[in-house]
Amino acid sequence: MTKTTTLTTAQTTHGFLLEREERIAELSATARIYRHEKTGARLLSLESPDENKVFGVAFRTPPMDSTGLPHILEHSVLCGSRKFPVKEPFVELIKGSLNTFLNALTFPDKTCYPVASANLQDFYNLVDVYLDAVFFPRLTENTLKQEGWHYDVEDAAAPLALKGVVFNEMKGVYSSPDSLLAEYSQRALFPDVCYGLDSGGDPERIPDLTFAQFMDYHRRLYHPANAYAFFSGDDDPEKRLALLDEYFSQFDAPAAPPDSAIGLQPPFAAPRRLVHYYAADSADSDDALETGEARDDAPASGEAAPETGEARETARAMCTVNFGLPQIAGAAGGPDLDLALGVLEHALIGLPSSPLRKALVDSGLGEDLAGGGLETDLKQLAFSVGLKGMPAATAESSSDAVEQLVLCTLRQLAEGGLHPDDIGAAMNSVEFDLRENNTGSYPRGLALFFEALSTWLYDADPLELLPFEGPLARLKARLARGERVFEDLIRAHFLDNPHRALVLLLPDPGLGARREAAEEARLAAVRAKLSDADMRRLAEETRTLRALQEAPDAPEDLAKIPRLKLSDLPRENARIPHEKLAAAGAPLFAHALPTSGVVYLDLALDLSAVPDALIPLTPILGRALFEMGTKKTPFVDLSRRIAMTTGGLWAQTFVSSVRGERGQGPDAAAQRLLLRGKATRENLAALTGLMAEVLLEPDFSDAGRLGKIILETKARREQRLIPAGHTLAATRLKARFGVAQAMNEAMQGLSGLTFVRELAGRMESNPQGVRRDLETLLGFLLSRRGLVLNITAEGPDIQAALPLLEGLAASLPDAAIIPARRGIPDLPEREGLCLPAQVNYVAAGGNARLRGQEPGAAAAVAAKFLRAGYLWERVRVQGGAYGASCAYSRLSGNLVFASYRDPNLGRTLEAFKGVGPHLTGLTIDPAELEKSIIGAVGDLDHYMLPDAKGFTALARELTGEDEAYRQAAREAVLGATAADFAAFGRAVDAVLEDGPVVIAGGREALEKSDLGLTLSKVL
């Protein structure tokens, strides 16, 4: 071949034309950008040494209205496909795969289907099922009915009801003021483009969606010509092309490109102001106690009855000030602006001491920061900041004050300049994050996929924002030259930018009832137009849908889902490098792992000596240590020093049951406050120095600062209540079963929230008392006798760290630790926790061990089987809940069921009670058993980055899960049989027979139930 022909003849491989190839050194990856010749499909293929392989396909799916069509379609394509004609291939995959990520996500303008696995065969299986699902789904009217919405009619005489998985899911989302604030803030800035609509679905609009629209949208937009495919990792790059071509080549290029372009919002001529409402609980707390079912004769712990006045106090308003920023994708200097805005965001609100965050929190106008900061997932960037926890009565004027404060603070910064240490702290934090590339439990490749889409989706270069060394070096050089980079950005994009919207979200006690009335009226209007024959038809359709949902898949169809064999699984647990050393007599665990020069350090302080009354204060102490300053260093300086020299320092509580076989009962617990930090190897001395300084020379005297930490903690916990209602209910339930669980509830559960609310009151009346409590609490923890140290780093860095760790441990006093007596709270048997939510969270369970049942490690297999089988069908598919879980802890013996965003109460409890008979009477199909085993092994082997490995090793030391114990568990899982399922079924029967029940949910639903609940108002 002559030189000329190689230049002019395009080379295609498996139908793909290579458009560009680039080495990205900072990601240790080679990127290739392809086009599929026949269809125009795009592919970004990253070759890297990452064993956690990622595949994803995304479609550009701007919504045309707020019926939630993109979201409903995202659910629906996973309900069976041409090659895999079963009800839910997705669930079958969850059952029998070693995936490290398997999900589907709807964004405001795109829908993504990513999978990941470290096992090559498993990876290919996942890719095949996902490609078939998105391109060849079996969409029927019943799919839309089940996943979207339908009129549910028991019989021709019964009233109409609306049901559907997404319909119910979005009711949950619309019950959360924080979700609403984020949604309304986005809509406010982009009212004229697709971001002014809700791609997830407004529950009031979802029933407008028709089957014809649903099918048409899939046909037009789920086409290779509208697809963005992605691979990354260490798999064979050529095979990627072949896998995709097999699907893409079945399509022809569309006559015209798919109409999915996303418009640019015309800039505002003047700032706007919008007021929205959320549904607050209408009943007041006195009523609640009157109408609740009879309480136990003996007054319970007292926490069931919140103080009067709580109702007024919790009906809070929130607001955001939002700025529309330019489009980065494809713009000249885009990557530099993107990085600079990221650093500016950090400098403004990244730390408690950052000037904009501090000005807002210190203003006393609200309790905690609101707004998502810099939004980079849309075509245009946006910035959102504000306050939540504002008294509702004065919120109108407070929100104006918040906007003025934001603008005034920004003006001062633009004129007077940012403090050099705030810039230094922000630069170091952003650079540390880029180099550490710590994506937590997310596969690293998935983060790259989303980063690429943030430009690719808008017809710009997918590699635009992936390399960071160039932009970083240029930004550093500009700062070194003395350029006022950030001040100029503030002026250009915030102060001189009329594209701004103030969004105020107010509580409306009547809104929940009005929404329900509107839904009922809508149904009544529909009903009025229906003839008896129509009703009979709807009843028949409802029965057909249920029959379809209940009919098992044909075994030959299930067998088509590709899966691993037991023989593909490693028999041995993966070991984490683990060396037991000592520092000044304290145990020191060291894990030599490739961390790119980062050192991770954990200091585990013993909580055993802390009296019960002070336990709930522990999370506050954890924050106060790092967020209040020391006797030597004021708070703002400490905060900057942490950010300038480390990758972060924070505290976290760790309380767990310990291994039962050690002969300890439910009153044995590992109880720790962990100080955790990370730094580059060069900065380890700064990290240990900071840990010693905050522990030995703390200064809790700034009552204003402490009060803000407490209010923020309170606001954050209240915010989590509805999105994590299942955790609230399950944590409360488990408090009855053991010391560790009672401590967790006291610190993080409903009791913990009640404590923090009271603490906020005490800060008003007696701040000195709170300060003394913090000092007393810290005194119980400061002893090297109870200390455990944990380091994760590269081998030579561990050796170099030993003298520093020795010094750190030796600096703590050698004080005796006298364990405090621990109690378990006496709580009502059946509790209802009232939330202003349209959905419920039902938790039930007990301690199997206390009931004489020991289902063993193989219980994990049965639980897996239930979650993807019986519970999925009964509680999600038939009941309409978003999900249900079943968890057995071999450490504690606790066996707990919980439902999530559930329209039901008693029906779900009945479903839980059906588990025992279901399992004991089961003839389990060997293929199903094998799938569940593989899924359970997948949980045992979940993928971890080095820092997570080091932390997991520490946790196992604290709970006594040594290698032999873990290996025995693995063997029990691998060898699980029908007998193990029956044993688990007996354990379920034993705990559910007369076990406690906790349901978090809407007051009306809880009051109407005949479950004998003792009600208390949470929010």
Q: Which residues bind Zn ion (CB under 5 A)?
A: 169
Q: What kind and span of H or E run contains 1001?
A: strand 997-1002
Are the CB atoms for 659 and 436 separated by under 8 Å?
Answer: no
Q: Residue 66 CB, nearest distance to Zn ion (Å)? A: 15
Question: What CA–CA distance (Å, rounded) separates 3 from 534?
Answer: 73
Q: How many residues does the chain have?
A: 1019
User: With helix as H, strand as E and coil as C, how does 440-504 read?
Assistant: CCCCHHHHHHHHHHHHHCCCCCCCCCCCCHHHHHHHHHHHHCCCCHHHHHHHHHHHCCCCEEEEE
User: What SS3 string covers 660-697?
Assistant: HHHCCCCCCEEEEEEEEEEEEHHHHHHHHHHHHHHHHC
Residue 162 CB, nearest distance to Zn ion (Å)? 17
The H or E element spanning position 247 is helix 237-248
Q: How far is the CB of 194 from Zn ion (least distance, A)?
A: 18
Residue 53 and residue 120 in contact, taking contact as beta carbons nearer than 8 Å: yes
Q: Which residue's Cβ lies closest to Zn ion? A: 169
DSSP 257-326: --S---PPPPPPSS-EEEEEEEE---S-HHHHHHHSPPPPSS--SSTTSPPTTHHHHH-EEEEEEEEEEE
User: Do residues 463 and 330 touch, judged by C-beta distance below 8 A?
Assistant: no
Residue of 88, 147, 303, 745 with catalytic role: 147
Report residue 91: phi and psi, to 5°.
-70, -40
Residue (201 or 950) nearer to Zn ion, CB: 201
**Nearest of 750, 842, 577, 120 to residue 758 by alpha carbon:** 750
Question: 787, 691 in Cβ contact below 8 A?
Answer: no
- Residue whose structure tokens are 């396909």: 57
Are 118 and 943 within 8 A, CB to CB?
A: yes
Give the residue carrying structure tokens 């707990």: 896
Query: Which tokens is 867 given?
Result: 């979650």
Dist. CA 314–CA 322, nearest whole Å: 25
74 is catalytic: yes
CA distances in angstroms from 253 to 40, 224, 248, 459, 906, listed in the order given = 7, 8, 10, 18, 52
Which ranges in 363-468 belong to alpha helices (H)? Answer: 395-416, 420-436, 444-456
SS3 249: coil
Q: Which is nearer to Zn ion, 144 or 501 (CB)?
A: 144
User: How far is the C-alpha of 404 from the C-alpha of 412, rounded, in Å?
Assistant: 12
Q: CA gyration radius for the chain?
A: 29
Distance CA(296)–CA(1013), nearest Å, equals: 11
* Phi, psi (rounded to 5 degrees) for 486: -75, -35
Task: Tell me which residue of 783, 782, 933, 924 sits closest to 857, measured CA to CA.
Answer: 933
Host H or E run for residue 654: strand 648-657
Query: What is the rounded distance in angstroms from the CA atom of residue 163 to the CA atom of residue 169?
Result: 10
Assigned token pair, 327: 């489009």
- Which is nearer to Zn ion, 900 or 912 (by Cβ)? 900
Q: Output the CA–CA distances (angstroms, integers) from residue 246 to 241, 482, 768, in the order listed.
A: 9, 56, 71
How far apart CA 696 and CA 700 sit, in angstroms, is 12
Q: Of 53 and 75, which has the nearer Cβ to Zn ion?
A: 75
The residue with tokens 């108002």 is 1017
Phi/psi for 467 (5° steps) reads -75, 135
Q: Which of 163, 313, 195 is nearest to 756 (CA)?
A: 313
Between helices 859-868 and 978-992, what is the axis angle to 10°?
A: 80
Looking at residue 607, the DSSP 8-state letter turns out to be -
Q: Which two tokens stand for residue 11?
A: 């080379």
Looking at the Cβ atoms of 172 and 424, the one nearer to Zn ion is 172
Q: Is 831 considered catalytic here?
A: no
Which sequence positions are flagged as catalytic? Answer: 74, 147
